[in-house]
């Protein structure tokens, strides 16, 4: 039969297996991929340079340009003027268009004039002659083509991932950048393979120096632009990204070569794209992680209208790489990126160009699959076999150390090696193993603690046992000092009652008495310390902290007295005498814990404050009241009205103690009772100042009105005694009791 340790290790290893399968790609867990993306975003934003790269300038089709020039698309002769301005007046190095010109520009009316020349005005020689002279100016596509001719201009186009029933292709593709690789044909590589394209007019593509696609088939599932493919494969040929083509234009059109890793006949993946002497690391799909510099504005922006008007700053544009694209919201070229939710698509290309020039592109090569697998295996085995040997504190420390090491190594690789190592899966694995081992320790290894908590069920109410189960760390069996409230209750005249009952009847009577008393104490969150025959000792404030311990104790004591009245009918039916109890309450610092001997232990409270509570219960007989509380308890429950009983020295204590009788809630005391209490407290003040006559008059009057109140008669007896035996001159009004 396997041991608990063996089962724990097997379950822990079973937890590691799904993560290893995820690393190999056999099974993909979307939540881990999303966490990895979020971790990438966090590292990226943490290390953004937040600088402006002046080498790449964006000519912006902004709202101001649309207001002046008109809505998009603009006439091709206007675009020709902008191109001429950029190269002739501002001397830019290269120009890339983040737009596609797939349709003819018929805005000049040339098509209408040609229809007239071939129709109604076919015989009008002068009209046909004038049309021939005007055609070079009115054919705006050719006007734009002439502006492109011989200049370092890169046009944009897009690939279609899927093709509907319509045309799969429009326009003319540029020349491919490669048709074969060292590992064989491009179709053998795991590159993006679109089904169609939307490209520029033949006349424009023939005049342009090159072209690049601006679509991104590798957008993350959450719609965020984190990576873009440098190349895509179409009909066996490789075509380049707009940013790559524009960078090549600025660098003098160096050749493109793919670096392909191959292992046997089953594995082929692109690891880098070489542009001349520059090596651009890519993933197995030929994509680069966009090296964002910061939020929008990481590159200079120039309004297209300022270029057209000739009012742009020449120093900003001279010898710069220019991208022409749109930030106007209506043109829908805004993207979600790790650095900003709404980000111009043209600036994504600008970041890639900047990264190519600086060779500042993070790499996530295909061989990281092996790294992730090994890292997960090491973490899984280490935590599986080491954590069961550790205490909870060291278990937490070890897990924190592993997590810290993974994060530190990851950030070092990011900062110094430009490597994007996987971090989400190892951290989640470490977290899962930590939770598993902590849970195992709680449910299996702490059963002894929870059984100990259940032992308190004989002392405290079930709801407190549940609280102790939920938070066993709060429970301490060791001795400790804390402020608490203790209650002692005792049945009056119990000796004579027990002598008149058979043992079986006495047992029934005690059960009928103690059960409801215990229920009341439990209802008010009290802990039963012990039963001492007919007496009960209980306390509040342990084993769980209770900031309202005095209030709960007083309310319990009041309900205990009231419950005795409710028991009278039952006692009468059984032929039992009615019971009366005296209750003493004291609040103070007590020692509480598991105390006793090696043969027997008990959870109990001890100390002077406990002894005083016992003495107060004994004084209820002397003063003829049902309940006495100390001054500390009185102050802790101010919503009650109290009657001061006396200031006494109890046996075993030198310090005098003021004692009180709770009457009722302040709001429930009627006017008559307030007057009685005022008269009584006034008589008590005269008594303590030795004004025997004044005190006697008031007390005598109260005794006549309330003949069943023994307290008034007791004070009249004391006055009579002090008349014959005057107290010393320094008497403080304290009465010393010699009995317990």
Q: Taking 70 as the threshold, does the pLDDT of residue 461 lie above it?
A: no
pLDDT band at residue 1, thresholds of 50, 70 and 90? very low
User: Residue 110 to residues 107, 130, 133, 455, 610: CA-CA distances in angstroms?
Assistant: 8, 12, 12, 100, 110
H or E element that contains 307:
helix 304-309
Distance, CA of 627 to CA of 490 (rounded, Å): 11
Does the domain at 476-665 match CATH 3.40.630.30? Answer given as no
The top-scoring range by mean pLDDT among 66-80, 81-95, 649-663 is: 81-95
Residues β-bridged to residue 477 = none
Say what the pLDDT of residue 544 is. 79
Say what the pLDDT of residue 557 is. 96
Say what the pLDDT of residue 108 is. 58
Residues 6+ apart with CB under 8 A from 52: 293, 297, 298, 299, 300
Say what the pLDDT of residue 210 is. 95
Q: Which alpha helices (H) appear in 59-170, and where do they start and end? A: 63-69, 76-84, 110-118, 125-138, 140-148
Say what the pLDDT of residue 487 is. 97
* CB crowding 368-405: b at 16 or more within 10 Å, else e: beeebbebbeebbeebbeebbeeeeeebeebbeebbee
Q: Shortest CA distance to 5 belongs to which of 434, 396, 445?
A: 445
Q: By mean pLDDT, which of 22-26, 174-178, 724-728 is the weakest?
A: 22-26
What is the average pLDDT across 572-582?
A: 91
Q: By mean pLDDT, which of 104-113, 154-163, 258-267 is the weakest?
A: 104-113
Distance, CA of 702 to CA of 713 (rounded, Å): 9
pLDDT band at residue 581, thresholds of 50, 70 and 90? very high
* CB crowding 471-482: b at 16 or more within 10 Å, else e: eeeebeeeeeee
Say what the pLDDT of residue 293 is. 93
What is the average pLDDT across 285-297?
A: 92
Distance, CA of 706 to CA of 414 (rounded, Å): 90
Q: Shortest CA distance to 9 belongs to which of 343, 299, 373, 382?
A: 382
Sign of CA dihedral 136, 139, 142, 148: positive
Mean pLDDT score of the chain, rounded to an integer?
86
Q: Which alpha helices (H) appear in 418-543, and where do they start and end? A: 424-440, 447-455, 462-470, 494-499, 503-523
Q: Taking 90 as the threshold, does the pLDDT of residue 365 lie above it?
A: no
SS (H, E, C) 242-274: HHHHHHHHHCCCCCEEEEEEEECCCEEEEEEEE
Pairing mode of beta strands 601-606, 535-540: unpaired
Q: Taking 90 as the threshold, does the pLDDT of residue 680 lie above it?
A: yes
Tell me the backbone φ, ψ of residue 548, rounded to 5 degrees. -105, 35
Distance, CA of 505 to CA of 509 (rounded, Å): 6
Say what the pLDDT of residue 182 is. 47
pLDDT band at residue 104, thresholds of 50, 70 and 90? confident
pLDDT band at residue 183, thresholds of 50, 70 and 90? very low
The distance from CA 311 to its chain's CA centroid, rounded to whole angstroms, is 52
Say what the pLDDT of residue 130 is. 60
Q: By mean pLDDT, which of 56-60, 461-465, 567-571, 657-661 is the weakest?
A: 461-465
pLDDT band at residue 512, thresholds of 50, 70 and 90? very high
SS (H, E, C) 689-736: CCCHHHHHHHHHHHHHHCCCCHHHHHHHHHHHHHHHCCCCCCCCCCEE
Per-residue pLDDT of 202-246, as tens digits, reads: 999 999 999 999 999 999 888 899 999 999 999 889 999 999 999
83 or 334, greater pLDDT: 83
Say what the pLDDT of residue 45 is. 93
What is the average pLDDT across 401-428?
A: 90
Domain boundaries, the chain: 4-47+367-445, 56-358, 476-665, 670-740
What is the average pLDDT across 629-637?
A: 96
Q: Taking 90 as the threshold, does the pLDDT of residue 651 lie above it?
A: no
Cβ atoms of 233 and 186 closer than 8 Å: yes
What is the average pLDDT across 14-37?
A: 87
- Percent residues over pLDDT 70 in the chain: 86
Q: Taking 80 as the threshold, does the pLDDT of residue 149 lie above it?
A: yes
Q: Shortest CA distance to 141 belongs to which of 172, 117, 116?
A: 172
Cβ atoms of 613 and 549 closer than 8 Å: no
Say what the pLDDT of residue 22 is. 85
Cβ atoms of 256 and 243 closer than 8 Å: no
Q: By mean pLDDT, which of 59-73, 253-267, 348-362 is the weakest?
A: 253-267
Say what the pLDDT of residue 27 is. 83
| Tokens linked to 689 | 């100042």
Say what the pLDDT of residue 444 is. 67
């Amino acid at each position: 039969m396997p041991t608990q340790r063996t089962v724990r290790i097997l379950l822990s290893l079973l937890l590691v297996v799904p993560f290893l399968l995820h690393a190999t790609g056999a099974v993909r867990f979307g939540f881990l991929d999303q966490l990895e993306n979020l971790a990438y975003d966090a590292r990226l934003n943490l290390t953004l340079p937040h600088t402006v790269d002046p080498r790449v300038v964006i000519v912006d089709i902004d709202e101001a340009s649309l207001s002046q020039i008109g809505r998009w698309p603009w006439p091709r002769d206007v675009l020709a003027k902008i191109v001429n301005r950029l190269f002739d007046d501002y001397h830019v190095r290269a120009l890339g268009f983040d737009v596609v010109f797939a349709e003819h520009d018929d805005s000049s009316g040339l098509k209408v004039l040609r229809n007239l020349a071939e129709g109604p005005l076919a015989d009008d020689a002068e009209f046909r002659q004038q049309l021939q002279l005007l055609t070079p100016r009115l054919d705006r596509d050719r006007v734009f083509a002439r502006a492109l001719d011989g200049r370092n201009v890169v046009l944009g186009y897009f690939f279609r991932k899927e093709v509907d029933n319509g045309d799969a292709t429009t326009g003319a593709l540029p020349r491919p950048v490669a048709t074969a690789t060292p590992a064989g044909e491009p179709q053998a590589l795991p590159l993006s393979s679109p089904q169609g394209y939307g490209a520029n007019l033949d006349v424009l593509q023939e005049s342009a120096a090159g072209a690049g696609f601006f679509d991104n088939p590798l957008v993350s599932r959450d719609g965020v632009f984190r990576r873009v493919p440098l190349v895509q494969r179409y009909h066996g040929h490789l075509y380049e990204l707009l940013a790559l083509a524009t960078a090549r234009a600025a660098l003098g059109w160096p050749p493109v070569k793919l670096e392909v890793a191959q292992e046997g006949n089953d594995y082929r993946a692109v690891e880098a794209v070489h542009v001349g002497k520059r090596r651009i690391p890519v993933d197995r799909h030929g994509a680069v992680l966009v090296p964002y510099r910061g939020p929008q504005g990481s590159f200079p922006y120039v309004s297209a209208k300022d270029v057209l008007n000739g009012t742009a700053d020449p120093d900003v544009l001279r010898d710069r790489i220019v991208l022409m694209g749109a930030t106007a919201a209506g043109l829908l070229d805004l993207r979600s990126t790790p650095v900003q939710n709404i980000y111009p698509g043209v600036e994504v290309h600008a970041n890639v160009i900047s990264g190519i020039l600086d060779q500042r592109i993070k790499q996530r090569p295909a061989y990281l699959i092996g790294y992730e697998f090994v890292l997960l295996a090491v973490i899984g085995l280490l935590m599986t076999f080491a954590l069961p040997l550790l205490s909870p504190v060291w278990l937490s420390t070890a897990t924190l150390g592993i997590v810290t090491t993974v994060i530190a190594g990851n950030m070092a690789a990011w900062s110094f090696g430009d490597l994007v190592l996987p971090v989400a899966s190892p951290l989640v694995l470490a977290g899962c193993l930590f939770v598993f081992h902590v849970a195992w320790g709680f449910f299996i290894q702490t059963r002894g603690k929870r059984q100990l908590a259940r032992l308190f069920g004989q002392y405290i109410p079930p709801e407190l046992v549940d609280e102790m189960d939920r938070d066993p760390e709060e429970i301490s069996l060791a001795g400790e000092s804390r402020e608490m409230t203790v209650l002692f209750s005792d049945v009056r005249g119990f000796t004579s009652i027990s002598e008149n009952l058979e043992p079986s009847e006495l047992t029934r009577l005690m059960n009928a008495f103690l059960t409801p008393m215990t229920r009341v104490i439990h209802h008010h969150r009290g802990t039963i310390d012990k039963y001492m025959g007919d007496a009960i000792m209980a306390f509040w404030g342990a084993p769980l902290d209770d900031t309202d311990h005095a209030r709960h104790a007083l309310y319990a004591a009041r309900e205990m007295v009231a419950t005795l009245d409710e028991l009278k009918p039952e006692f009468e039916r059984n032929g039992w005498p009615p019971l009366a109890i005296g209750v003493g309450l004291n609040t103070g610092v007590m020692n509480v814990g598991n105390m006793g001997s090696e043969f027997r232990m008990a959870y109990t409270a001890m100390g002077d404050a406990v002894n005083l509570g016992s003495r107060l219960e004994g004084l209820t007989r002397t003063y003829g009241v049902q309940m006495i509380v100390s001054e500390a308890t009185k102050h802790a429950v101010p919503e009650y009205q109290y009657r001061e009983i006396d200031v006494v020295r109890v046996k075993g204590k030198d310090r005098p103690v003021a004692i009180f009788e709770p009457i009722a809630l302040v709001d429930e005391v009627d006017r008559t009772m307030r007057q009685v209490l005022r008269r009584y407290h006034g008589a008590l003040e005269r008594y303590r100042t030795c004004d025997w006559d004044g005190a006697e008059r008031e007390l005598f009057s109260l005794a006549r009105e309330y003949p069943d109140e023994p307290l008034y008669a007791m004070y009249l007896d004391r006055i009579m005694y002090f008349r014959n035996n005057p107290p010393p001159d320094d008497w403080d009004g304290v009465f010393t009791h010699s009995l317990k």
